[in-house]
């Protein structure tokens, strides 16, 4: 096995574990902050905060111009070619472009806050939070850029430390202080902005110490900066279109149905999205490492990494998918209560759509790696249009089930077309012989156990026994099929080193029974 593949797999496993852990911690901190806000301020104030946060997120997306993906890919690409001068110019240009555009967008948001609050949202009290948030917008944009810079250097810890933990932790701390002192709602808005500003300043100091940067902010953009901008702009469209896909279901349900129906769907939707958290964590570190391989024309190594990662992310997320797909009522009842059980079919469809995307591999990210951002933009546009059309067609007769079908179909369409495009452009695909065995085994098991859950009325204790039986059947069939490769041992070695545990028994088991 290639040493390059071995080293790359170990880096990706290590980075995925860090990003996944940081994402979970950040989500928990953010969730606690939102719960505190909702409990100690009025429902109207919580709604205003949510609206202001939504507007800020859109404004930051425009400010970045797609630099989150473009910066990381270009830095990794030039590092692979050992071109340190272009790495430095890309790094400086990304900060320069983000700073200039974010200040411009910040000014627009500040001076148009009255128009946005009164004319668009019919909520005059939204104006002050928008002005407060606008002052923090450039700092928010730079946090994302700094994370992308380190991503380009295969470093994931800074994103976890600053973007996930410090930012959310600071806001939670300041918010708790405001609640304890019984201070005003407007100070809570300042607390959020302060958390962004302080995080950005500390992150900037850390970045300057770790990566020597000769910052020279000029209005004129150098040739490397222009190349970065043209490369990244299609990614801005991809980000915006992806956001439309994520929100169209909810907005069109609100238009065609009632708020109760929207609430049902938003119990199923976040659960379905949990399936892709590990996949997204892997993709963050996959992009710079694969970009480095691509820049050196190591296509065979890139193919192997793409295939191995697809197989292991599939295995790692399969149990969560089986839980949501086979026992959706149990999951919804446990997490949201019995009133949300009727969203079971929507959860099944959403989980299936997310799992199909995982099984196909990181194809949209592969298009970014090989520099086809415009093609990625057009594929995402086609998926977005299909999502809107299907929502309009299916929601009136089918409700949340129709919305789930529209979302699952649109995201699957984007990834399937990306899979075909990546294969035609580079020959990369995840469907090695052993992975096809794995998919066949999984499909058979899924069909059998779905038939059991569909035709039998199961009690809670029966569900637990059935789920355990499913796991054992899955492992037994993997043993009989011998569906693993030598790279799987390397991946286990990476896991062993990262977790600090001895997996020698598992490695011997795979060597003896599972390798072809």
Q: Which two tokens stand for residue 104?
A: 């411009």
Q: pLDDT at position 512, please?
A: 56
Q: Hey, which of 364-373, 439-448, 506-515 has the most confident mean pLDDT?
A: 364-373
Between 64-68, 230-234, 343-347, 509-513, the lowest mean confidence (pLDDT) is in: 509-513
pLDDT in tens, 151-186: 888 788 888 889 888 998 998 899 889 888 878 888
Distance CA 360, CA 447 (A): 19
Q: What DSSP string describes 263-299? A: HHHHHHHHHHHHTTHHHHHHHHHHHHHHHHHHHTT-H
pLDDT in tens, 62-79: 888 888 888 888 888 888
Residue 235 has pLDDT above 50, yes or no: yes
pLDDT in tens, 265-312: 777 877 888 888 888 878 877 888 888 888 888 888 788 888 888 888
Pick 16 or 176 by higher pLDDT: 176
Give the pLDDT band (50/70/90) at residue 135.
Answer: very high
Q: pLDDT at position 501, please?
A: 47
Q: pLDDT at position 505, please?
A: 53
Residue 515 has pLDDT above 70, yes or no: no
Q: pLDDT at position 304, please?
A: 83
Pick 369 or 248 by higher pLDDT: 369
| pLDDT above 90: percentage of residues in the chain | 18
φ, ψ (nearest 5 deg) of residue 83? -100, 85
In the DSSP assignment, the letter for residue 504 is: H
Mean pLDDT computed over every residue of the chain? 80
End-to-end CA separation in angstroms for the chain: 15
Query: Rounded mean pLDDT of 246-273?
Result: 75
Q: pLDDT at position 489, please?
A: 58
pLDDT in tens, 479-501: 666 656 665 555 555 544 544 44
Between 20-24, 85-89, 209-213, the lowest mean confidence (pLDDT) is in: 209-213
pLDDT in tens, 331-365: 888 777 787 788 889 999 999 999 999 999 889 88
Distance CA 354, CA 349 (A): 9
Q: pLDDT at position 499, please?
A: 44
Q: pLDDT at position 365, please?
A: 87
Rounded to two decimals, what is the model's pTM? 0.76
Contact 62, 277 (CB under 8 A): no
Q: How far are the Cα atoms of 196, 374, 378, 411, 412 from residue 418, in angstroms, in the given order?
A: 35, 12, 10, 11, 10
How far, rounded to the nearest angstrom, does the alpha carbon of residue 486 sit from its chain's CA centroid? 29
């Amino acid at each position: 096995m290639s040493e390059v593949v071995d080293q790359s797999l170990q880096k990706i496993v290590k980075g995925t574990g860090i990003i996944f852990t940081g994402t979970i911690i950040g989500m928990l901190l953010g969730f606690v902050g939102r719960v505190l806000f909702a409990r100690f301020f009025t429902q109207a104030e919580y709604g205003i905060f949510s609206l202001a946060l939504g507007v800020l997120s859109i404004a930051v997306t425009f400010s970045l111009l797609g630099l989150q993906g473009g910066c990381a890919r270009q830095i990794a690409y030039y590092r692979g070619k050992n071109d340190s001068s272009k790495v430095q110019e890309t790094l400086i240009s990304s900060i320069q472009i983000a700073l200039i555009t974010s200040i411009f967008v910040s000014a627009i948001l500040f001076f148009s806050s009255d128009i946005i609050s009164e004319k668009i949202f019919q909520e005059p009290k939204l104006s002050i939070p928008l002005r407060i948030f606008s002052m923090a917008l450039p700092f928010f944009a730079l946090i994302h850029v700094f994370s992308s810079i380190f991503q380009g250097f295969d470093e994931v810890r800074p994103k976890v430390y600053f973007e996930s933990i410090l930012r959310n932790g600071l806001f939670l701390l300041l918010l708790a202080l405001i609640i304890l002192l019984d201070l005003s709602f407007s100070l809570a808005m300042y607390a959020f902005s302060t958390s962004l500003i302080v995080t950005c300043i500390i992150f900037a100091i850390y970045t300057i110490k770790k990566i020597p940067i000769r910052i020279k902010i000029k209005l004129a953009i150098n040739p490397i900066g222009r190349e970065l901008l043209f490369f990244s702009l299609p990614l801005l469209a991809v980000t915006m279109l992806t956001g439309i896909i994520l929100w169209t279901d909810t907005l069109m349900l609100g238009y065609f149905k009632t708020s109760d129906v929207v609430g049902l769907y938003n119990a199923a939707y976040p659960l379905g999205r949990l399936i892709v958290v590990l996949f997204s964590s892997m993709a963050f570190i996959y992009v710079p490492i694969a970009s480095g391989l691509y820049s050196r024309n190591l296509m065979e190594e890139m193919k192997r990494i793409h295939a191995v990662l697809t197989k292991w992310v599939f295995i790692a997320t399969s149990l969560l998918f089986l839980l949501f797909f086979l026992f959706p009522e149990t999951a919804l009842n446990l997490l949201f209560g019995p009133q949300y059980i009727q969203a079971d079919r929507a959860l099944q469809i959403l989980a299936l759509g997310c799992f199909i995307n995982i099984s196909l591999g990181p194809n949209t990210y592969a298009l970014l790696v090989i520099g086809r951002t415009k093609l990625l933009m057009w594929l995402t546009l086609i998926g977005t249009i299909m999502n809107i059309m299907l929502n309009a067609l299916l929601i009136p007769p089918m409700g949340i089930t129709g919305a789930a079908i529209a979302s699952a179909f649109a995201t699957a369409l984007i990834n399937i077309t990306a899979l075909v495009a990546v294969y035609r452009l580079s020959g990369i695909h995840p469907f090695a012989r052993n992975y096809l065995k794995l998919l066949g085994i999984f499909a058979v098991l899924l069909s059998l156990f779905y038939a059991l859950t569909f035709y039998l009325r199961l009690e809670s204790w029966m569900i637990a026994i059935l789920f355990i039986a499913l796991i054992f059947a899955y492992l037994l069939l993997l043993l009989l099929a011998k569906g693993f490769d030598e790279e799987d041992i390397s991946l286990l070695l990476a896991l062993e080193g990262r977790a600090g545990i001895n997996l020698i028994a598992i490695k011997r088991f795979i060597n003896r029974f599972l390798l072809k």
